[in-house]
Chain A
Amino acid sequence: MRLRVDPVKCQGYAICTEVAARHFTLDDWGFAQALVVDVDEGDVPAVTEAVRECPVRAIRWIDGPATGGPAPRPAPPAV
């Protein structure tokens, strides 16, 4: 399973660094950075909690087939 922090969404709440400290850290400006991109099977629950607890839903799993996998999604909202 692969992990991605969406940089557009991340606001640096830092909850991920508390619930999955081995997988996330804050960069020098206070934004979340994934320390591990390919997550081991055994660590999936901890990271899943981070995915769930992020107030802005900035963390996501990016697995799936390389082409044509994800269903079309609406364009991201204007920022």
Chain B
Amino acid sequence: MTGSARREAGTPVVAPPLPILTTVSAARPWAGEDDGLLGPTPFVREDRSGYEARGGHRDRVLLDCGDDRLARLAARPGLPGLLGRGGAAFPALRKIRAVADGVAATGLSPVVVANGAEGEPLSVKDRYLLRYRPHLVLDGLLTVAAALEAPIAHVYVADRAARTSAEAALAELDVPAGGPQVRVFAAQDTYVAGEETAVVRALTTGIARPADKPPRPFQVGVGGAPTLVLNVETLACIARAGLPAGRDAGSTFLATVSGAGRPPVLYELPTGLPLGDLLREHLGRVDSSADVLFGGFFGGILPAWPDLELSHPGVLRRGGSLGCGSLHLLAAPACPVRTTADVVAYYARHNAGQCGMCMASSSAIAATLAELGDPRPGVAYAALLPRWAAQLRGRGACAVPDAIAVLLRALLRSHPQEVTRHLASGCDECRRAPGEPRWGHLLASLPSDGEPVTADGPVGRVPELVPVGVEVR
């Protein structure tokens, strides 16, 4: 849509230099009635006393005694409807119950894992939670450990500052005797290390690569034991639902919003917010010609429909996936074909390197998409792209082939005329794309140690936009 208008004008487009490694150093709640997931003061670490002053680490004690622990956990507000926040949106309570069933069937003690290895390059929310709200995450982890009577709990985290914060929080907490043994595990900082079978393998053997399924971790997990792997935001939601001022476990979600030449912001949004409301806040206007890359690199590129509902079912209905909750905005002259090519180029380089079909297909599709700067009238790509999308579904040990399938399907469904235009006459934007790494402009991070944070400070309802630095690597 944006591209065709650009093309008709026939004017050469000056490519703005794309920033490399965008640092997210602003965070904003939407209209929180409690401290939410971002915490009372964004980008300021909450320690044990701060968290306990808000009623944290308390409700767990009730859970810790007597029978029906799972029923008591399930009674927390919003728990039955809570969807996992790692990307797959699997119902959290069903996963917890599946582990309990695995324990009943095998007689083995369960293992619980807080998964904070945030591999999605456009998302910073898991690292944020572990860096600045470690006690909220730990409370959630210890809560599910208590509900399952798990003797061992792991905090699985790649980001160094997040790991330091989690270790400090554990030291502050001083888990009582009889409580689970909690260990912090330094995960590899790779795209696939956070996939749940990769988590299980890393904790068992040190190799952070996915395994084919079944069995899933709730059946055969760490050391063979039924294992609950929950994303750290999922755990934070569970803990928050137990706080005195807490809200329904699924009422808000963290969204790393980047792109469109604006400073990226980590928002806490009400689940189901219309996309138009977010655009009005973030861009100051509703740009209906823009596109959105959803869910890290996973959820496909869709037009920025103002009525698109920001929830897992809402994005799914429109042909994409909310995934880990990140939104990367592509405003003119960004080209959806080019961004798809950039992301597939990333996957061709950053897959686990173990499934032949994934390695072969990702490199071939990346090469094909990278060619579309020049016209390809004689090649049957128009038929091949949907064929490849269909061939990749459900095939991989992890979801990388599915991610490529979602990207291709969303592109063909939302921008068929853009694809046709590329095949017929090429595209300046695509021709200008650099060699590897093509995806350098699609990376977000939190500030590194010692780097000044220009955060909002104490947060009002709708604060002013804060200019933030863009770090060039």
Q: Do A and B bind each other?
A: yes
Pairwise interchain contact B101-A70, C-beta atoms closer than 8 A? no
Pairwise interchain contact A72-B214, C-beta atoms closer than 8 A? no
Pairwise interchain contact A27-B220, C-beta atoms closer than 8 A? no
B212: interface (CB < 8 Å): yes
**With A31-B360, A75-B204: A8-B219 Cβ-Cβ less than 8 Å:** no
Q: How far is it, in angstroms, between the C-alpha of A79 and the C-alpha of B356 when the chains are bound? A: 12
Closest residue of chain A to B103 (Cβ to Cβ) is A68
Q: Chain A nearest CB: distance from B207 CB in Å?
A: 6
A43: interface (CB < 8 Å): no
The answer, among A8, A62, A75, for a CB contact under 8 Å with B397, is: A8
B211: interface (CB < 8 Å): yes
Q: How far is it, in angstroms, between the C-alpha of A8 and the C-alpha of B357 when the chains are bound? A: 8
> Which chain B residues in 98-115 approach chain A with CB under 8 Å?
98, 101-102, 104-106, 108
Q: How far is it, in angstroms, between the C-alpha of A76 and the C-alpha of B355 when the chains are bound? A: 13
Q: How far is it, in angstroms, between the C-alpha of A11 and the C-alpha of B357 when the chains are bound? A: 9
Pairwise interchain contact B391-A33, C-beta atoms closer than 8 A? yes
The answer, among A9, A31, A70, for a CB contact under 8 Å with B214, is: A70
**With A8-B354, A29-B364: A68-B212 Cβ-Cβ less than 8 Å:** no
Pairwise interchain contact B215-A70, C-beta atoms closer than 8 A? yes
B447: interface (CB < 8 Å): no
B226: interface (CB < 8 Å): yes
Q: Chain B nearest CB: distance from A64 CB in Å?
A: 8
Closest residue of chain A to B221 (Cβ to Cβ) is A72
Pairwise interchain contact B219-A70, C-beta atoms closer than 8 A? yes
> Which chain B residues in 192-209 approach chain A with CB under 8 Å?
201, 204-205, 207, 209
Q: How far is it, in angstroms, between the C-alpha of A6 and the C-alpha of B214 when the chains are bound? A: 10
Q: How far is it, in angstroms, between the C-alpha of A70 and the C-alpha of B220 when the chains are bound? A: 8
The answer, among B211, B224, B388, B395, for a CB contact under 8 Å with A76, is: B211
B7: interface (CB < 8 Å): no
B104: chain A residues within 8 A (beta carbon): 68
Pairwise interchain contact A75-B201, C-beta atoms closer than 8 A? yes
B358: interface (CB < 8 Å): yes
Pairwise interchain contact B214-A67, C-beta atoms closer than 8 A? no
A70: chain B residues within 8 A (beta carbon): 214-215, 219-220
Pairwise interchain contact B218-A67, C-beta atoms closer than 8 A? yes
Q: Chain B nearest CB: distance from A32 CB in Å?
A: 8
Pairwise interchain contact A67-B355, C-beta atoms closer than 8 A? no
Pairwise interchain contact B358-A7, C-beta atoms closer than 8 A? yes
B396: interface (CB < 8 Å): yes
Q: Chain B nearest CB: distance from A41 CB in Å?
A: 22
**With A29-B357, A29-B360, A33-B391: A68-B214 Cβ-Cβ less than 8 Å:** no
A27: chain B residues within 8 A (beta carbon): 357, 361, 391, 395
Q: How far is it, in angstroms, between the C-alpha of A69 and the C-alpha of B219 when the chains are bound? A: 7
B285: chain A residues within 8 A (beta carbon): none
A-contact bits for B59-90, CB 8 A (1 contact / 0 none): 00000000000000000000000000000000
B101: chain A residues within 8 A (beta carbon): 67-68
- What are the nearest 8 A-B pairs in CB distance? A68-B105, A72-B224, A29-B360, A31-B357, A7-B355, A67-B101, A68-B102, A79-B354
A31: chain B residues within 8 A (beta carbon): 356-357, 360
Q: How far is it, in angstroms, between the C-alpha of A4 and the C-alpha of B211 when the chains are bound? A: 13
**With A8-B355, A79-B209: A68-B219 Cβ-Cβ less than 8 Å:** yes
Q: How far is it, in angstroms, between the C-alpha of A31 and the C-alpha of B359 when the chains are bound? A: 11
B-contact bits for A14-57, CB 8 A (1 contact / 0 none): 00000000000001111101000000000000000000000000
B384: chain A residues within 8 A (beta carbon): 28
B387: interface (CB < 8 Å): yes
A62: chain B residues within 8 A (beta carbon): 214
> Which chain B residues in 101-141 approach chain A with CB under 8 Å?
101-102, 104-106, 108
Q: How far is it, in angstroms, between the C-alpha of A26 and the C-alpha of B190 when the chains are bound? A: 30
The answer, among A9, A30, A67, for a CB contact under 8 Å with B360, is: A30
Q: How far is it, in angstroms, between the C-alpha of A67 and the C-alpha of B224 when the chains are bound? A: 13
Pairwise interchain contact A67-B98, C-beta atoms closer than 8 A? yes
**With A6-B212, A67-B102, A68-B105: A78-B207 Cβ-Cβ less than 8 Å:** yes
B209: chain A residues within 8 A (beta carbon): 79
Pairwise interchain contact B105-A10, C-beta atoms closer than 8 A? no
5 contacts between A and B (CB under 8 A): A27-B361, A67-B101, A72-B106, A72-B225, A79-B209
B106: chain A residues within 8 A (beta carbon): 68, 72
Closest residue of chain B to A64 (Cβ to Cβ) is B214
A-contact bits for B38-55, CB 8 A (1 contact / 0 none): 000000000000000000
